[in-house]
Amino acid sequence: MDNTRKITVIQATAVLISTIIGVGILALPRFAVQTAETGAPLVTLLGILVASAGLWLITVLGVRFPSKTIVQYSEEIIGKWLARFGSLLIIGFFAILTSLAAREFGEVVVTTVLRNTPLEVTVIVMLLLAAVSSRHGLETFVYIHYFYLPLILAPALMIVVLSLKNAELLNLLPVMGNEHKELLGGVLTIAALFQGSFIISIVIPHMRRPGQAYKASFMGMSVAGVLYFLIVVATVAVFGPEEIKRLLWPTLELAKTTSLPANILERLDAAFLAVWVTAVFTTLYSSYFLTIHCMSKLFRLRDHKLFSFFVMPFVFFYCDGAAKHSGTLPNHSDCRTDRSDCDHWLSVSAVGGFHHTKKKGYT
Amino acid sequence: MRFLRKRSNDGKKSPALPDQLSPDKVLEQYKDRTISTNLEENIKLINSLLEANPDLVTRRFHVFGKYPAVMFYFSNMVDQTMINFDILKPFIYMPPHLEGRKIGDGQLKNILINETIIHSGARLQSNIVRVIDAILEADSVVLIEGVDEAFLFSTRNVESRAVGQPQTEQVIRGPREGFVESLSTNTALMRYRLKTPSFQIRNMVIGKYTKSNISICYIKGIANPDLVKEVENRLSKIKIDGVLDTGYLEQFIEDNHISPFPQVLYTERPDKAVAQLLEGRVAILMDGSPFALIVPTVFTQFYQVTEDYYERPVMGSFIRLSRLLALIFALIVPSLYVAVISFNPELLPTEFAVAVAGGRASVPYPTVVEVFMMETAMEVLREATVRLPKQVGGALSIVGVLIIGQAAVAAGFASPITVVVIALTTIGSFATPAYNAALALRLLRFFLIIMAGIFGLYGVMIGLILISNHLLSLRSFGIPYMSPIAPGNLQGVKDTLIRAPLWWMKKRPESSQPVNEDRVSGQTVQATKEPPDNPLGPKRSN
């Protein structure tokens, strides 16, 4: 049996889910509400569809080149130098994504739990954790995602279930929302929360049967999508759109309103946040891993361990700089612009890929 | 002095004297030497090699009254009766069927071994080094004038402990036998449970001076041959002066030497060892150690005990779950306590939070310091209790309980709730069946307490993620340490959190990659699903 092909469909699905679900979930309802008010669940659904299209593209490409990562096959598709430039973009993008996620979570922690701790400390702890863990191989990477999956899904679902007590159906109506001024922007922002799904491109070459990547992508996207959708529905149902607009992290507020039966714990937000560290970690870990994995592939290295600490200062200083630049409020629109660059490049390579494969008569 | 000696040696170019050589080299210079037909020469050589040993017995006698012979053995290590009646007697008395027969020059050896000697463990050896080794192994050696081979007899009888209840792995229900120090007894304890020719043992000698006998036990056709080969390979690389317990071996064959988590399971129970062999693992036994090593090992094995399988599945699962809970308690309760009290007291229900604050009113230190000190005290107390003789131990535990529990609170040194937390943790770590795994958790608990003191719940989570990531990256002989949980395996998961009924676990766990997977026959599985016959149901009227 080929030793490097060990990842099963379920494991690939787990990687997708735990990568997608990250710190974005805390602010998600606000993004959705800002553009469409009570239409938030609808916007979320549309966002999921857009993200699915992106994921589908990556999966198709991955399955076409079952033994290569995106860095490698893009060279075949659009030519060596253009592809290397594109790969550099991907690497830069995910490095920035790592730092943004680390910073946003750092903000959450500093604002809600550790009020006297400097932001840099919480961020660097998170980044160190990702860097240390990224020294392991891809196999361990997958195990880690697989192992944490229940820890990521269970608390979110629990919050949704427990918050039903305070839900008000009226808050969700009208389903279509009242005004649609920035609908497209909102859809793209929410789609951008799913950008971690890009991780599938480095997982496919190690899958036992790469052809089943479609299944993994579909399942991963559905589970993560349903969870995001439920969170948005629950938050909007509890708070109503106007209230959510004024909340920085509505999902966290949702956790505050819930309590366990029998008064085991008086409040749940800190506990929820603590468990949520896992979700943030897996997301960070994925984007960090993706960055250094792509780097090692770009420089034709067999092992990526070399970069695991090398990249960290850059990510940290970007994150620190960004924090000073844009004030304390984390802003996801940075990501969005980057995302559109990346998407653009991706679609070029994808179209090229179809063209190329057709020419050569592949199926 | 050394300088002088060296020069004189160089001058004469004679072989070095035995006492200047390192002990393992002494025999090496006689590597190719065979037994001489001259008896006196042999006696001189053997005596010169084993000179300063007052327990070496050199008994001269005459075979059949004619041929001069000598017998060597170490007294106190041999079965004296056996030597007298089974060895010396047939050598000295000529049996009736030989009387009158003429014994030719070369015939004596064959006649003796084939027609005279009654002892079943007799064999011939011509190499002098092997003969010396045999004497050291507590065999008896007989040399005869004119015969170019030595007679070796297995006569070893070293005093050993009787087979008794295993001290570290007690069960309420299950066999009461434990391994002892003698390898042959241990092998017998396993073999009478496994009456199959497939149960195989490969022997090995490790240790330059201790020459410890190692047995690698496995079931051929279940254990993966690559695994057996790798175990042999790793063991054969060990070149060390002495091996005194299987613990020495463990440290050389484990995959990650600095991890706090043990990657090799040890057991004192033959039934457990056999169960592990049946799951496709390999057991390593050693002469002189009552602990068998089991490889490969995954984390779940450290909280599984044999009793889980002897009890009925529901009860077995229940005991196992409580043990798992204890394990988690031992690891995280103190750090959670520190994090909640010092960073997030709002998590506690208000009444309880008030009670905690009241209890802590007289304590001058932050919670983390308080918990750290109490944990350290508990650790010291526990270590003292383990090492002390039983008579003093009772007194010590009373003192410990008084000081840790009552007096510390009364003195305003610790709050009552801290004492409760420490007690929970300690009991939790005692409930973990594997001592080495409990040790790892005890150590990591301190790390978590520090993390909790610095970063609160966030720190506890970071610490736990670090620990879990480390666990997930560990391998034992190539097997992921956290399997069958990650990577998931449907057969294996039935034996992790719960202990599924035996007929559910039809296949051996994949985590040891056995060659042959079927464990329970399909018919048996079928039979469990059918309604039982009731021959003693309500009486039918005829």
pLDDT for res B17:
53
Q: Kindly state whether residues B266 and B377 are assigned to the same domain.
A: no
Residue B411 maps to a domain: yes
For A181-193, what is each residue's pLDDT tens digit? 677 778 888 888 8
For B494-525, what is each residue's pLDDT tens digit? 888 888 888 888 888 877 778 877 888 888 88
Task: Give me the number of domains chain B comprises.
Answer: 3
Rounded to an integer, what distance in angstroms lies between the CA atom of residue B295 and that of residue B505?
A: 21
For B40-52, what is each residue's pLDDT tens digit? 888 888 888 887 7
Residues of B whose CB is below 8 A from A265? 347-349
Q: Kindly state whether residues B221 and B343 are assigned to the same domain.
A: no
Judged by CB atoms closer than 8 Å, whether chains meet at B458 and A142 is answered as: no
Last residue of a domain, one of B433, B449, B480: B480
Burial class (CB in 10 A: 0-12, 13-18, 19+), B195: exposed
| Chain centroid, CA B251 distance in Å | 12
Residues of B whose CB is below 8 A from A113? 343-344, 456-458
Q: Kindly state whether residues B142 and B251 are assigned to the same domain.
A: no
Last residue of a domain, one of B234, B262, B297: B297
Domain that holds residue B60: 31-153
Residue B17 maps to a domain: no
Residue B413 maps to a domain: yes
Q: Kindly state whether residues B328 and B436 are assigned to the same domain.
A: yes
Dihedral pair phi/psi, residue B45, rounded to 5°:
-65, -50
Q: What is the largest CA-CA distance in chain A?
A: 66
Residue B387 maps to a domain: yes
Buried b (16+ CB within 10 A) or exposed e, B95-108: eeeeeeeebeeeeb
Residue B287 maps to a domain: yes
Dihedral pair phi/psi, residue A41, rounded to 5°:
-60, -35
Lowest mean pLDDT segment, chosen from A163-167, B235-239, B440-444 = A163-167
Question: Is the CB of A125 inside 8 Å of chain B's CB atoms?
Answer: yes
Q: Kindly state whether residues B439 and B322 are assigned to the same domain.
A: yes
Fold annotation for A9-327: Amino acid/polyamine transporter I (1.20.1740)
> Which residue does chain B place closest to A114, by CA atoms?
B455
Structure tokens at A192: 């951008």
Select from A266, A284, A289 the residue whose CB has the most chain B CBs within 10 Å, as the one to mutate to test that interface.
Answer: A266
Average pLDDT over residues B80-106: 85
- The CA–CA distances, whole Å, from B534 to B312, B525, B539, B541, B542 equal 22, 19, 11, 16, 17
Q: Kindly state whether residues B192 and B79 are assigned to the same domain.
A: no
pLDDT for res A343:
53
Lowest mean pLDDT segment, chosen from A152-166, A251-265, A285-299, B13-27 = B13-27
For A284-305, what is each residue's pLDDT tens digit? 999 999 999 888 888 888 777 7
Q: Kindly state whether residues B458 and B350 are assigned to the same domain.
A: yes
Residues of A whose CB is below 8 A from B346? 266-267, 270
Select from A143, A273, A276, A285 the residue whose CB has the most chain B CBs within 10 Å, as the one to mutate to test that interface.
Answer: A143
User: Are B295 and B264 spatial neighbours (Cβ–Cβ below 8 Å)?
Assistant: yes
Q: Which has the closest alpha carbon to A34: A331, A340, A334?
A: A331
Q: Kindly state whether residues B316 and B453 are assigned to the same domain.
A: yes
Residues of B whose CB is below 8 A from A134? none
Residue B3 maps to a domain: no
Judged by CB atoms closer than 8 Å, whether chains meet at B457 and A267 is answered as: no
For chains A and B, count residue pairs whose Cβ atoms are closer than 8 Å: 89
Q: Kindly state whether residues B318 and B448 are assigned to the same domain.
A: yes
Q: Kindly state whether residues B122 and B48 are assigned to the same domain.
A: yes
Q: Kindly state whether residues B350 and B473 are assigned to the same domain.
A: yes
- The full 3-state SS of A52-121, as one line of letters, equals HHHHHHHHHHHHHCCCCCHHHHHHHHHCHHHHHHHHHHHHHHHHHHHHHHHHHHHHHHHHHCCCCCCHHH
Residue B448 maps to a domain: yes
Q: Kindly state whether residues B440 and B465 are assigned to the same domain.
A: yes
Question: Is the CB of A151 inside 8 Å of chain B's CB atoms?
Answer: no
Last residue of a domain, one of B424, B451, B480: B480
Query: Which is more confident, B108 or B294?
Result: B294
Asked if the peptide bond before residue A174 counts as cis, ω within 30 degrees of 0, the response is yes
Residue B427 maps to a domain: yes
Select from B451, B461, B475, B485 the residue whose CB has the most chain A CBs within 10 Å, as the one to mutate to test that interface.
Answer: B461
